[in-house]
Amino acid sequence: MVAAASENLKAKLQSPRWWAVRVASGIGFFLLLYVFVNFDHWTGADVKARTGSNTQSAADEREEFDGRANLRISNVRVKDQSGQLIYDGSVDVSPTVDRIARNERLDYKNDGSVFENRERRLPSRPAGYYREWVHPTPDYPLPGPQRVVTGKNGDIWYTPNHYKSFVKLK
């Protein structure tokens, strides 16, 4: 019986079809690995087109008002899940940041919840470091894709496209 199993294995190893399937499986695995590793490079086109990266510094995007940053981001295009443009213009996240400081939440389940950074577009931090907040889109009845993400050390990030790209505000 052992000899029969050994002969069966030997026949498989000599079969060109067996090797073709194994090689194709290996190529498929490495192709998927490549896509996974480079996924960040293929997303966040709105921010990437303006800055060359998926994140921006506050100096690139904030406008100054009365000598302090007012958390206003220019040239923002917000699209819904279907890709339909729902807002085009400047976004002022000051009301959302003020609401966060007052510890007020909107009636959306994720408003104020832990942001896990699963997309890995923000700097890596311990679990529970980031929280996400809904930034309402004018004249749009649903929460929309805009979010403000805050960190325990006071860092503030804005995303117009539901975590595809971020603008660092603070």
Known catalytic residue at 119: no
Known catalytic residue at 162: yes
Tell me how far the alpha carbon of residue 82 is from its chain's centroid. 17
What is the Cα–Cα distance from 81 to 128, expressed in whole angstroms?
Answer: 27
Query: Sign of the C-alpha dihedral, residues 57, 80, 88, 50?
Result: positive
What is the Cα–Cα distance from 120 to 44, expressed in whole angstroms?
Answer: 13
Catalytic hit among 61, 119, 132, 135: 132
Burial 6-41 (b: 16+ CB within 10 A, else e): eeeeeeeeeeeeeeeeeeeeeeeeeeeeeeeeeebe
DSSP characters for 47-70? Answer: HHHHHSSSEE-HHHHEEEETTEEE
Active site residues: 132, 162
